[in-house]
Structure 1
Amino acid sequence: MAKKVVTMGEIMLRLSTPGYQRFTQAESFDVVYGGGEANVAVSLANYGFDAHFVSKLPENPIGQSAINHLRRFGVNTDYIAKGGERVGIYYLETGASMRPSKVVYDRANSSIAEASSKDFDFDAIFKDAAWFHFSGITPALSETAAVLTEEALKAAKRNNVTVSVDLNYRKKLWTPERAKEVMSNLMQYVDVCIGNEEDAEKVLGFKPGETDVTKGELQLEGYKDIFKQMKEQFGFKYVVTTLRESYSASDNGWSALIYNGEEFYHSKKYDVRIVDRVGGGDSFAGGLIYGLLAKDDFKQALEFAVGASALKHTINGDFNLVTVDEVETLIQGDASGRVQR
């Protein structure tokens, strides 16, 4: 029987400029749907798990389109509540070379931002579940969303469900001060903490050593120092970060680091030519959850997560549409990109 995994958050309508056009050039937008925890659910469904996405969407054709998009890729939508006024929107301008990508949000007062625990039976949702994943984006949506997130976490723990978080700081949604206040409280429910150097600093107040990602440099000792502090303060089972070396908007180095309280492990690094980096971190989280549930040890889990997310950078849209076999082929050494016949 496939393991039941649950994610909760916002799925948005994504409107992207065609190709590499700027907003000021575009006369049309490409439509896809996506959002942090929805992207993780799609990854886990692709890997054969019984993936459930919890959210709230309006009863209109756009809300239904978002649901249909999830169902298309095998995600169970039974726990999506209906109601509220709107689906959140974000606009994406894809960068290239030295020009960064840009995102403009139009998500205020979306259905999930105004949802409450009355919309969900969390004990039923977490019955027989193996894992629950959320991100720092969800409690940042509104005061009520922060309360809702903690209610979900309490129910997950009542049902002995392993919990992971992707810290995912979004400066357009809240301040570092508010993020620390809310997220530090939620960490008491978390087993696996995922976050990059900005997330660790802005959300939890931890800063690594002399690391400057804008220069494409990594100082692993700085991460090791904050990982130890984070584990000591919050008691995480694993602390994990992706390591993005940003040579340009088109080319990145991509690897990850994990700490289990006794040992640090740095994964293989991939040099990635980027098609679409949106959802890269979510694809990593999905790969890590799969790996920790299906693999023999945490090092194998990390290698799977890094391989899966490296592949995501080559796929347009928010979702990582790869299979376990495709990831395994890559991490076992075939990164040639040759045609598979």
Structure 2
Amino acid sequence: MSRMILGDKSSQEPIVSCFGEVLWDYFPSGKRLGGAPLNVCLRLKSLGVNAEILSAVGADVLGSELLEDIRERGLDNGFVLVSASKKTSTVEVSLDKGGSATYEIAVDTAWDNIELSPKLIERVASSDIFVYGSLVARSEVSLNTLRKLIELSKFNVFDVNLRKPHYSLESLVALMKAADFIKLNDDELFEIAGAMGSKFNSLEQNIEFIANKTATSNICVTKGRHGAVLKVADKYYYNSGYMINVVDTVGAGDSFLGSLIYQLCNTEDTQYAVDFACAVGALVAQNQGATPEISLHDIQAFMNPI
């Protein structure tokens, strides 16, 4: 993360690997690329970071389209395995009047069955940061691969995305304990902390509870339109959000995380990193789809309009 968090700065430009689901989100208006790790990876790539997605698709038309699409966006699709027996993943997305999404996620898809390979091992071992999510842990095959890759990585970022019924407390706690950095939203924080036995009511108390239970001192909690709070060791950083007209919230948290990683790798100003990440998340939420094109100029103009 930042020079303070990562510690080892032997590489001037960090290498990031993102592991987990790649899929097609089906909106009423049509299909778009999706999957939290892919969204994080695409935002990192758009900001100039050496980031790649590690996943799997089926040997089908949707898989071919997905591989072509990510290649056109600058990713090396060679880290996305092709399954001969499992289909490319799809998700039915429903939006309420406020733009908040609910998801119907296909089961037993290609990314549920990501087998360990020498190429994945080499990529993760050579990466400075390894990003993984909670949804990929619903399958024993991909979870076993994830466990092995975590052992090889230098710095683990756990992106919590709770999608009922696709998670268990046991796997969440294990993945949090393996993490050097945890990102989740406020609802997820209270749900997980409560399930782990927390009696606390405030956001900060529950962040400290999770930090103590998992021995993870770097935690970020997003709060939707109300911004985010970042804990780095014993220090807290806050952003109270930006005023926008929400179109849909799909992928906003993913772009937030990608932007936060980018800034924490490139600045000593941790407060600015949180402000920047919240701005990118807001810009995504006021556009359609998970990964709209957003330039550094767009972000700066949004943060400091003249």
Compute the TM-score of the two structures, normalised by the length of structure 1: 0.79
Q: In structure 1, which of residues 295, 314, 324 is the aligned counterpart of residue 296 of structure 2?
A: 324
- Give the letter aligned to residue 71 of structure 2: R
Residue 57 of structure 1: SS of its match in structure 2? strand
What is the alpha-carbon distance in structure 1 between the residues aligned to residue 291 and residue 72 of structure 2?
A: 12
Q: Percent identity?
A: 17
1:279 is the counterpart of 2:251: yes
Determine the structure 1 residue equivalent to 2:122. Answer: 124
What is the alpha-carbon distance in structure 2 between the residues aligned to residue 101 and residue 163 of structure 1?
A: 27
Determine the structure 2 residue equivalent to 1:228. Answer: 208
What is the alpha-carbon distance in structure 1 between the residues aligned to residue 58 and residue 233 of structure 2?
A: 43
Contact map agreement 1:53 1:75 (CA 8 A) in 2: yes
- Give the letter aligned to residue 234 of structure 2: E
Contact map agreement 1:283 1:309 (CA 8 A) in 2: yes
Q: In structure 1, which of residues 162, 168, 188 is the aligned counterpart of residue 161 of structure 2?
A: 168
Please report how far the alpha carbon of residue 192 of structure 1 lies from its aligned counterpart in structure 2 after TM superposition.
1.0
Residue 7 of structure 1: SS of its match in structure 2? strand
Contact map agreement 1:134 1:166 (CA 8 A) in 2: yes
Determine the structure 2 residue equivalent to 1:11. Answer: 22
The within-5 A match list for 1:1-341 is 2-18=13-29, 30-83=30-83, 84-97=85-98, 101-105=101-105, 107-117=106-116, 119-140=117-138, 142-156=139-153, 161-174=154-167, 179-203=168-192, 205=195, 210=201, 222-244=202-224, 253-331=225-303, 333-334=304-305
What is the alpha-carbon distance in structure 2 between the residues aligned to residue 300 and residue 100 of structure 1?
A: 27
Contact map agreement 1:39 1:282 (CA 8 A) in 2: yes
Residue 129 of structure 1: SS of its match in structure 2? coil
Q: Identify the structure with the greater helix proportion.
A: 2
Consecutive aligned runs of 4 or more in structure 1 exceeding 4 Å deviation: 206-210
Please report how far the alpha carbon of residue 2 of structure 1 lies from its aligned counterpart in structure 2 after TM superposition.
4.5
- Give the letter aligned to residue 227 of structure 1: I
Determine the structure 2 residue equivalent to 1:27. Answer: none
Deviations 1:140-161 (A, max 9, x none): 2x122222221111121xxxx2
What is the alpha-carbon distance in structure 2 between the residues aligned to residue 60 and residue 95 of structure 1?
A: 31
How many residue pairs match? The answer is 292
Please report how far the alpha carbon of residue 313 of structure 1 lies from its aligned counterpart in structure 2 after TM superposition.
0.5
What is the alpha-carbon distance in structure 2 between the residues aligned to residue 189 and residue 86 of structure 1?
A: 30
Higher RCO structure (Cα 8 Å, ≥6 apart): 2
What is the alpha-carbon distance in structure 1 between the residues aligned to residue 276 and residue 199 of structure 2?
A: 25
Q: Which ranges in structure 2 are unaligned for 5 or more consecutive residues?
A: 1-11
- Give the letter aligned to residue 22 of structure 2: I
Q: Which ranges in structure 1 are unaligned for 5 or more consecutive residues?
A: 19-29, 211-221, 245-252, 337-341
Please report how far the alpha carbon of residue 208 of structure 1 lies from its aligned counterpart in structure 2 after TM superposition.
8.0
